[in-house]
């Protein structure tokens, strides 16, 4: 019955049409998130090595609750349930990295749920949140449940010390007692993943080599920490700790490579990125020196996040076409 088949309106073969460009570099959101998770995996292993199954418990719980919360929230708000892009999994992992290994289960659940809801969903998902999502929840937990977020409570479970609270309580004398190599290898207390300095540094370098993050923010952040700490150290080295001590403790390295570079809440230009990093780094030391919080990194990055819209105003003039 071939004669009855109508000649198609469009000629064969039917082609796809689209606007230019017709090529793509091949990057995807899920790829970016997955590679960031891969970059964090050495630190996860080191955390389990140092803190045992306690660390694994916090990480696993945080990741699972992150994905489930995101799925439920997206369902309620009627958006596409895009949890398969691993971005909520990454938020869960980043949040777990900031918690002490001794964090109780309810704190992990409340914290990561807040991180997803306050940090991501309320502002319209990835790319729209003005603050780094894991840090929002960290700040809420730190202020609300000071006792449970206290890093020093992990002391009972391990042989390590929390160098930053040692510095806060006993001064630079105590700080000089730490071996830098031990600190670098993660033999210290702090956020369970954040203090795995060598693992985190390895992951950060991997991300830069794979061009998932630009080196501007991490390097400027570290420079900000180092320069400010050096200034204090030179003013009075009996009162203030060595700048290398500051670089190797708390979440400095983790913050520089993984939190400050959060794409939604950091600026996009070359110069704004450098300023953003420097300001974050300077805040870290100022908070460590003057405030009651031993580790200044989360608050420093949150403060720098607030400056992002202003920093983004530093722009070159657009191409003159008229």
Partner 1 sequence: MNKPTIFLTTEFEERIRDIPSPDEMNIPLKGHIPRIERKEKVLQGARIAEHPESYAGDIHASLSGKVKNITPASISIKTDTENLQTEPVDISGIDPGKELISALKSLGVDTNNLVKAKTLIINGFNPEPGISVYDHLLRDHQETLERGLELVRKFISPTSTILAVPGRSTAHLAGCMTFHIKTFYPNSLNRVVVKSVTGFDKPENVAIISIPQLYFIGKIVETGLPLTETIITIGKVNYRVKIGTPIRVILEYAGISVQPGDRVVLGGPFRGNAVYSLDQGVDKDAYGILVVPKDMFSPVTDAPCLNCGECVLKCPSRIMPNIISRMAEFGLFEKTIKYGIESCLECGLCTYFCTARRPVLQYIRLAKDELAAQESNKR
Choice between 30 and 176, CB closer to partner 1? 30
Q: In the set 18, 159, 236, 292, which binds partner 1 (CB under 8 A)?
A: 18
Report the nearest approach of partner 1 to the CB of residue 278 (Å).
Answer: 18
Question: Should residue 317 be labelled a site residue for partner 1 when binding is judged by CB under 8 A?
Answer: yes
Choice between 134 and 267, CB closer to partner 1? 267
Three-state helix/strand/coil letters over the chain: CHHHCCCCCCCCCCCCCCCCCCCCCCCCHHHHHHHHHHHHHHHHHHHHHHHCHHHHHHHHHHHHHHHHHHHHHHHHCCCCCCHHHCHHHHHHHHHHHHCCCCCCHHHHHHHHHHHHHHHHHCCCCCCCCCCCHHHHHHHHHHHHCHHHHCHHHHHHHCCCCCHHHHHHHHCHHHHCCCCHHHHHCCCCCCCCCCCCHHHHHHHHHHHHHCCCCCCHHHHHHHHHHHHHHHHHHHHCCCCCCCHHHHHHCCCHHHHHHHHCCCCCCCCCCHHHHHHHHHHHHHHHHHHHHHCCCCCCHHHHHHHHHHHHHHHCCCCCCCCCCC
What is the distance between the alpha carbons of residues 115 and 98, in angstroms, rounded to a whole number? 12
Judged by CB under 8 A, the stretch of 173-181, 226-234, 247-255, 311-319 that binds partner 1 is 311-319
Choice between 6 and 211, CB closer to partner 1? 211
Binding mask 167-206 for partner 1 (x = CB under 8 A): ----------------------------------------
Tokens of 44: 């996860």
Report the nearest approach of partner 1 to the CB of residue 21 (Å).
Answer: 3
Please list every residue from 71 through 100 that binds partner 1, using CB under 8 A.
Answer: 82
Please list every residue from 205 through 264 that binds partner 1, using CB under 8 A.
Answer: 214, 263-264
Judged by CB under 8 A, the stretch of 12-20, 188-196, 219-227, 295-303 that binds partner 1 is 12-20
Choice between 90 and 189, CB closer to partner 1? 90
Judged by CB under 8 A, the stretch of 119-127, 134-142, 143-151, 155-163 that binds partner 1 is 119-127
Question: Should residue 112 be labelled a site residue for partner 1 when binding is judged by CB under 8 A?
Answer: no
Question: Should residue 25 be labelled a site residue for partner 1 when binding is judged by CB under 8 A?
Answer: yes
Choice between 172 and 261, CB closer to partner 1? 261
Question: Should residue 19 be labelled a site residue for partner 1 when binding is judged by CB under 8 A?
Answer: yes
Residues at the site binding partner 1, with contacts judged by CB under 8 A: 10-29, 32, 82, 124-128, 214, 263-264, 267-270, 312, 315-322
């Amino acid at each position: 019955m071939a004669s009855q088949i109508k000649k198609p309106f469009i000629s064969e073969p039917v082609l796809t049409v689209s606007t230019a460009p017709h090529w793509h570099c091949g990057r995807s959101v899920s790829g970016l998130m997955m590679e960031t998770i891969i970059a964090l995996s050495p630190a996860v292993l080191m955390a389990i090595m140092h803190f045992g199954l306690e660390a694994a418990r916090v990480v696993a719980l945080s990741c699972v609750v992150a994905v489930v919360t995101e799925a439920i929230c997206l369902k309620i708000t009627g958006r596409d349930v895009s949890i398969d892009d691993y971005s909520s999994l990454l938020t869960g992992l980043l949040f777990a990295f900031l918690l002490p290994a001794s964090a109780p289960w309810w704190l992990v659940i409340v914290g990561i749920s807040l991180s997803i809801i306050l940090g991501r969903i309320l502002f319209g998902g990835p790319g729209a949140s003005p603050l780094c999502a894991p840090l929002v929840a960290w700040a809420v937990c730190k202020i609300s449940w000071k006792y449970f977020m206290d890093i020093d409570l992990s002391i009972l479970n391990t042989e390590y010390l929390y160098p930053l609270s040692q510095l806060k309580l006993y001064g630079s004398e105590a700080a000089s007692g730490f071996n830098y190599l031990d600190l670098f290898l993660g033999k210290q207390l702090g956020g369970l993943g954040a203090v795995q300095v060598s693992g985190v540094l390895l992951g950060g370098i991997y991300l830069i080599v794979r061009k998932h993050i630009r080196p501007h923010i991490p390097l400027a952040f570290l420079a900000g920490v180092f320069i400010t700490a050096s200034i204090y150290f030179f003013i009075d080295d009996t009162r203030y700790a060595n700048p290398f001590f500051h670089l190797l403790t708390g979440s400095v390295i983790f913050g520089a490579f993984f939190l400050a570079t959060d794409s939604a809440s950091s600026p996009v230009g070359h110069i704004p990125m450098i300023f953003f990093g420097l300001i974050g780094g300077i805040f870290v030391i100022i908070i460590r020196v003057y405030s009651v919080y031993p580790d200044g990194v989360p608050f420093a990055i949150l403060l720098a996040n607030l400056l992002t819209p202003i920093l983004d105003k530093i722009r070159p003039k657009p191409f003159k076409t008229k």
